[in-house]
Structure 1
Amino acid sequence: MSLHTLLALFPFAMLACFLLYWAGARHAWGRRETAPPGDASAFAWHFFVPCRDEETVVGTTVDQLRADFPEAHVWVIDDDSEDRTGALVAARAEHDRRVHLVSRRRPDARVGKGAALNAAYAELDEYLPAGTDRSRVVVCVVDADGRLAPDALRLVGGAHGFGDPEIGGVQVSVRMRNVEDPEPLPERGRVRNAFARLLIRAQDMEFAVANAGMQMLRIRTGSVGLGGNGQFTRLSALDAVAAHEQRPWQRDALLEDYELGLNITLRGHRITHLTDTFVTQEGLPHLRRFLTQRTRWAQGNLQCMRYGARIAGSRQYKGKGVLETLYTFFQPFTHLAALLLTVVITAGLLLDGASLLPGSWPLALLFAAGTIVPFTLWGPAYRRAFAPDASRLTGVLWGLVLWLYAYHLFVVSARAFVRLLRGRNGWAKTRRNAEAVGIGPVAVEA
């Protein structure tokens, strides 16, 4: 078989892998079980809230956590903020013994979220009395703009969560809190606001159904991933990782959350995902900030390749889990390969009207259908589960939006490779929607 033919068949091989993965996720989503509530009082709960210049949101987040979960402790990590973040939290800690301020200063501060979380882990370790049953202590990471559902602890502490002694970590679903905001960009005009609303809606669909379906599939393969918001872990599982890796969260990781999940699984603990409860966060209405965030995620995905050999040789990962995890690791590579191949095919058509395979237009149409239909089918599923008042046609249109939205993966994968080749491993904090427009994401080079 010639190189010419291999290049032509490569996209169909990638499409076959994608369709197989999508079918598994879609089936798992449709067969998901309802999680029973448990006894939240059987556990001691500690929230970690990493913050860097979060004065616009941190006060509301701390107040909500203390109001909805009065028996829990809230540890706010002020990563050398240049605004009033530390002062706002200190004022609350002065009158509430369950609010704790973890203050960090440069040069130790502003080197990544993982390092900030490790500082809170160290202070929690000092705070707990000797003899504490650390398997009954649960740490939950909540973003500075996060809002955890009031029923979260009951469900996370139930039989599908930490009620099962083998479970070391639980990830809850993530939703976009501003998905129904009629004007995400005030005074920016109707067209920009319409685009911003669609961008936020696509992020909500991505997390609520597409990513949730993927996590349901991962429950079956034993490779569930942890996210950065709504991430619950047993303290004993964090201890096991720290004993092997010197710290729970990796200091140089751009995806410190996902890497933590890999390490917890490698240490023999199971991780699960719950779709019956959730944490909300702000969807990003600005394309530039969105691409900056996703480029960091893509580059973090590339960093995870270093775990490939360990996972393939581990007894903790079964065959399906190894395949699923490696498939996830290789996503940026396949996106970049598809992007380069698209350029080659397009150049050939423009230069001499020739395609890589004779008579390939029917194949091109089949390929297009194979990429468009799976994304489109998530739209009606999302409508039924989260927006039943919307019309069926709206659900289909939302699915088409999700298909177009998915093309950002090619852009951010290319950007991630460029950053990697240039040796740029900096961590950029995403600006909150309520912050002044003139303040951009601040990158810290590692």
Structure 2
Amino acid sequence: MSALEVCIVASLLLGLGFLWYVAVLVFVYLRATPDTPADPGVFTWHFLLPCRDEAAVIGETLDYLRSTFPQAVCWVVDDDSRDATASIVADIGQTDPAVRLVRRRMPHARSGKGDALNAGYRALCTELEAATDRESVIVCVVDADGRPSAGLLRVCAGSRLFGDATTGAAQVEVRMANRGESRPLPGRGTVTNLAAGLLARLQDIEFRCPISAMQMLRARSHTVNLGGNGQLVRLSALDALAGGAAAPWGNALLEDFEIGLRLMLAGLRIVYTTGAWVDQEGLWSLRTLLVQRTRWAQGSLQCLRYLPQIWKSANFTNSGLFEVTYFIVQPWLQVVGTVVYPVPLLVFIDNAVHFPAFTEAFLYNGGAAMLLLYLVIGVGEFAIWGFIYRQRCERHLSRRHALVIGLGMTAYAWLSYVIAWRAVARVVSGRTAWPKTPRNAELLRLQTLPGTSLAVGKSMASRLPE
């Protein structure tokens, strides 16, 4: 076969494979059933909040957690913040003994979220009595802007989750708290606000529909994984991973995915639920989103080193091996896709220019219908999530709105190819350092300072790595 024929065949196979995958995701998602809650009193609950320069949000988050979950202890790990994060937490802790501050200092700080979580784990273990039943201690990781749903503990205590002794960890659904804001950028133009609001809405769809469906599908292959926000882990499961360094979390850029892999390698069960969720902040800046997602993609590529262990492990089914392998190598497949997907279109354009009679005959004899089908499938496999989102998540949205955000999901999905190239480029060049994702409030504050740019997120995001 020629290189051209190889590209055309590869494009067809990758396209059909992804179409089948989307169809399976939709099928699994629409058949999901709710979880039954139970009494959370049989467990003790600890929230673990890694924080670096989170003064803009941490106070309100702690107020929410303590008022909503009075039975839980909140451990805030301050990663040598340069703002007032530590003092805010310390002030709250003076009047509320269930708020604990764990401070990290340079040069032993700002080395990654995994290290911050490990510091919180060690502080928690130091305080617990030796006779503590560590099977009944549940640690919940929440971002500094996280708002777990009020029923989180009841749902996670249920018989399918931690009520099952074989469950080592659980991940709850993630939602964007600012998904419905009509003017997220006060003082800016209508178009800019519409674009920022749409971006937050698309992130909400992404997490509540396709990502949620992926987790439901993973439940069938026993490969549910953890996210950075709303992950819950038994203390005994963390102990099994901690080792002599007392460090259950690793140092990959995607530390949540990494600890999930390590839990699976240890034979521990991970479950996913939509019965409870955590609200977080959706990003309004496209550039900031690209930087965040590039870090995630690079983090998954860093987990390539686990593939030999995974393929040798008896704790993975055949379908589980396929699913985990696919996720880890997905950025590479997307890079290949950007090369082979355009080939059929380029061949058609070349034929139209050089062989117009042949092209006309091709279109007349079914080619036009085939191209139309190609377009409908290429757009429809992403746009369908707009209508599913309206049906299952946000019933107040109109059908027209569902169509608009569904088409937006198509363009949003194309960003993954840009992200894949950026991640692969960073891996090849050996770049691994990353700053934290700035909060929207930080970006807005910078935009209102004299002499700063009004471009959305530009003033801070311009300092983020490419």
Q: Residue 452 of structure 2 corresponds to which residue in structure 1?
A: none
Q: Residue 377 of structure 2 corresponds to which residue in structure 1?
A: 370
Question: Quick check: 1:135–1:234 contact (8 Å CA) kept in 2?
Answer: yes
Matched, 1:93 2:100: no
C-alpha deviation, 1:3, in angstroms: 2.8
Q: Residue 315 of structure 1 corresponds to which residue in structure 2?
A: 314
Query: Which whole-Å CA distance do the structure 2 matches of 1:244 and 1:18 have between them?
Result: 43
Q: Residue 262 of structure 1 corresponds to which residue in structure 2?
A: 261
Q: Residue 42 of structure 1 corresponds to which residue in structure 2?
A: 42
Query: Which whole-Å CA distance do the structure 1 matches of 2:394 and 2:24 have between them?
Result: 24
Q: Residue 2 of structure 1 corresponds to which residue in structure 2?
A: 2
Q: Residue 278 of structure 1 corresponds to which residue in structure 2?
A: 277
C-alpha deviation, 1:361, in angstroms: 6.5
Q: In the TM superposition, what are the counterparts of 1:368-407 in structure 2 within 5 Å?
A: 368-407=375-414
C-alpha deviation, 1:386, in angstroms: 1.9
Query: Which whole-Å CA distance do the structure 1 matches of 2:267 and 2:244 have between them?
Result: 12
Q: Residue 152 of structure 1 corresponds to which residue in structure 2?
A: 152
C-alpha deviation, 1:378, in angstroms: 1.2
Provide the identity percentage: 43
Amino acid at match of 2:418: V
SS at match of 2:209: helix
SS at match of 2:282: coil
Q: Residue 451 of structure 2 corresponds to which residue in structure 1?
A: none
Query: Which whole-Å CA distance do the structure 2 matches of 1:223 and 1:361 have between them?
Result: 42
Query: Which whole-Å CA distance do the structure 2 matches of 1:32 and 1:218 have between them?
Result: 13
Q: Unaligned stretches of 5+ in structure 2? A: 448-458
Question: Quick check: 1:427–1:443 contact (8 Å CA) kept in 2?
Answer: no
Question: Quick check: 1:429–1:443 contact (8 Å CA) kept in 2?
Answer: no
Deviations 1:243-287 (A, max 9, x none): 398621112x11000111111111111101101111001110111
C-alpha deviation, 1:354, in angstroms: 7.0
Query: Which whole-Å CA distance do the structure 2 matches of 1:205 and 1:254 have between them?
Result: 24
Matched, 1:236 2:236: yes
Matched, 1:161 2:161: yes
Query: Which whole-Å CA distance do the structure 1 matches of 2:462 and 2:52 have between them?
Result: 10
SS at match of 2:169: strand
SS at match of 1:429: coil
C-alpha deviation, 1:77, in angstroms: 0.7
Q: Residue 129 of structure 2 corresponds to which residue in structure 1?
A: 129
Question: Quick check: 2:171–2:230 contact (8 Å CA) kept in 1?
Answer: yes
SS at match of 2:435: strand
Question: Quick check: 1:169–1:233 contact (8 Å CA) kept in 2?
Answer: yes
C-alpha deviation, 1:342, in angstroms: 4.9
Question: Quick check: 1:250–1:260 contact (8 Å CA) kept in 2?
Answer: yes
C-alpha deviation, 1:241, in angstroms: 1.3
TM-score (structure 2 length as normaliser): 0.90
Query: Which whole-Å CA distance do the structure 1 matches of 2:73 and 2:248 have between them?
Result: 19
Query: Which whole-Å CA distance do the structure 1 matches of 2:371 and 2:175 have between them?
Result: 35
C-alpha deviation, 1:198, in angstroms: 1.0
Question: Quick check: 2:49–2:77 contact (8 Å CA) kept in 1?
Answer: yes
TM-score (structure 1 length as normaliser): 0.94
Q: Residue 114 of structure 1 corresponds to which residue in structure 2?
A: 114
Amino acid at match of 2:319: K
Deviations 1:372-407 (A, max 9, x none): 112121111110122212222322322111111111
Q: Residue 437 of structure 1 corresponds to which residue in structure 2?
A: 446
Query: Which whole-Å CA distance do the structure 1 matches of 2:318 and 2:461 have between them?
Result: 40
SS at match of 1:431: coil
C-alpha deviation, 1:111, in angstroms: 1.1
C-alpha deviation, 1:19, in angstroms: 1.9
Greater Rg by CA:
2
Amino acid at match of 1:214: M
Moved more, 49-58 or 367-376: 367-376
Q: Unaligned stretches of 5+ in structure 1? A: none
Question: Quick check: 1:77–1:103 contact (8 Å CA) kept in 2?
Answer: yes
Question: Quick check: 1:170–1:233 contact (8 Å CA) kept in 2?
Answer: yes
Matched, 1:418 2:410: no
Aligned residues: 443
Amino acid at match of 1:233: V
Query: Which whole-Å CA distance do the structure 2 matches of 1:397 and 1:440 have between them?
Result: 30
Deviations 1:107-165 (A, max 9, x none): 11111100100000111110110021111000000000100101000001111210011
Moved more, 183-192 or 218-227: 183-192
Query: Which whole-Å CA distance do the structure 2 matches of 1:443 and 1:106 have between them?
Result: 22
Moved more, 145-154 or 178-187: 178-187
C-alpha deviation, 1:347, in angstroms: 6.5
Using a 3 Å threshold, how does the CA distance of structure 1 residues 20 and 320 change in structure 2: closer, same or farther?
same
Amino acid at match of 1:437: L
